[in-house]
Amino acid sequence: MQHGTELREHAERLLDLARRAGADEAQVSASHDREIKVGFERNELSLSASGEETSLRLRVHHQHRLGAASTNSTDRHDLERAVEAAMAMASFSPPDEHLNLPFPAPLEERPDLWDESIVSVGPEQLRSMAEEFLRALREDARVSIDSGNVSSELDESWLLNTHGIAVRERQTRLAWLGSGQGLDGDDITNFDYGGGMSYRLEGARERMLVDGRRMARQIAGTFGAGTGVSYKGCVLLSPRALEELVLDPLESHLSGLQVFYGKSNFTDDKLGTPVTSPLFSLEDDPTDPLLVGCTAWDSEGVPTSRRTFIERGVLRLQMENAYSAKRRGRSLTGHCGFGLHGAKVASGETPLADLVSGRQPLLVVHRFSGNVDAQSGDFSGVAKGSHLHAAGERRPISETMISGNLFAMLRCIEGVSREVETVENGYVAPWILFDGISVTAQDQVGRP
């Protein structure tokens, strides 16, 4: 790994060159990454690979015009060329008086995300871990793993701008990922995938094996899938399905810039008013060291902190970066890319078993694959790896269509589970029971 002081010196040199070239404001993001990876394909380990990379990304504002360039070289000549490219881009960009870069602000303390034990992990140790992970994924011999890997990752980053921001972050990660399907003669299940990561080596192996076995059991549990039933009513979404059907679309509607452009349902006049059922609460937690988005600052160097966006159904906040905050007269929230760092949907008071019992038919959706209209919230897609509770039994079903409207669905929540799940170390969510969703069995798809 390149020493942090050296990486900062490269960033300072590029920033100084931009200043000398006439940039009114400039920002440099510099990072150095090292990765060692052991992969597997078709149930067999493949060769290990490793690599290191230094990258510098430059953003300039000149006469209210935006320019940007990047380089993987720290040679002075290449840095000068990056500056020339960024300034040339700015000369052709339309002017925008709201372009700005933030000023320094105090950062909150964060857990140390650097573990020397991961730094010391070599290819042989990774290979041993990959063998164990593959065995866990194939706990049931009918599960066939198409691809996956176990990797150690080291990352050091600096962000500097001409207003005096100079922030540093470094992380170590052990990560694992697998994808596959079940094969038992003519019985072939849907593909599924799963993974996770840890900033620390201690306990990572145990978590990796738990994730692998969970995926194996999920796949094996969908053998013998039959046809579902068509109805309109309650559907139970798993934490994984919530990401695809609820969390990803909500991020767009919580963006202050989308509000400004008139493309969000969560307009300014709805702040402080109910926008979902009171059973739904959503916060962003960039302080949680179990989540991959744990960070003290966003990609503009603005401090991050725990923030509540929806509290018991009431809209409390929208995401703002430097541009949207200036344009809308709002405060920065530490969300430069308008994405949540560590989304957490609040748990409820109902045991998961109680959400399932007494409601039949009930489709329990493991994953959603389909489309959600970015503005209207209308959605339609396939429930994959899912189960149907009907006629007093639980059984796996083949691909079944579900459709409805996100915003109507969020107002029709019948229950939220007490149990929560951390999904691939990206976010935390419970199971949520929604009403008013149309379910169409496979043999009914396309019929009038």
Give all strands (DSSP E) within 108-248, no chain letters.
143-161, 166-184, 187-188, 192-198, 231-237
Tell me the C-alpha distance between 136 and 435, whole Å.
36
181-234 pLDDT tens trace:
999 999 999 999 999 999 999 999 999 999 999 999 999 999 999 999 999 999
Tokens 């389909």 locate to 370
- Phi and psi angles of residue 204, each rounded to the nearest 5 degrees, phi first: -65, -40
**pLDDT for the residue 12:** 98
- Long-range contacts of range 335-338, CB-CB < 8 Å, 24 or more positions apart? 335/284, 335/298, 335/304, 336/298, 336/299, 336/300, 336/302, 337/298, 337/299, 338/251, 338/252, 338/254, 338/255, 338/256, 338/257, 338/258
Predicted pLDDT of residue 374: 86
Q: Which two tokens stand for residue 51?
A: 């690599």
Predicted local confidence at residue 446, as pLDDT: 47
**DSSP per position, 7-55:** HHHHHHHHHHHHHHTT-SEEEEEEEEEEEEEEEEETTEEEEEEEEEEEE
Mean pLDDT by 10 residues, the chain (448 residues): 81 98 98 97 93 97 98 97 98 97 94 95 95 97 97 97 97 97 96 96 97 96 94 97 96 97 96 98 97 97 98 98 98 97 97 90 95 94 94 89 97 98 96 97 59
Q: Look-up: residue for tokens 């990206």?
A: 426
Q: What is the pLDDT of residue 272?
A: 98
| Beta bridge pairs of residue 155 | 33, 171
pLDDT score for 3: 63
CA angle 237, 239, 245 (to 5 degrees): 60
**Global confidence as pTM:** 0.94
| Separation between Cα atoms, residue 36 and residue 98, nearest integer Å | 42
The bridge status of strand 231-237 relative to strand 362-365 is: parallel
Give the model's pLDDT for residue 444. Answer: 53
Residue 122 has a pLDDT of: 92
Structural domains in the chain, sorted by start? 4-220 (3.30.2290.10), 225-448 (no CATH)
Do you know the residue count of the chain?
A: 448
Report the pLDDT value the prediction gives residue 358, as an integer from 0 to 100: 78
The residue assigned the tokens 């150690």 is: 152
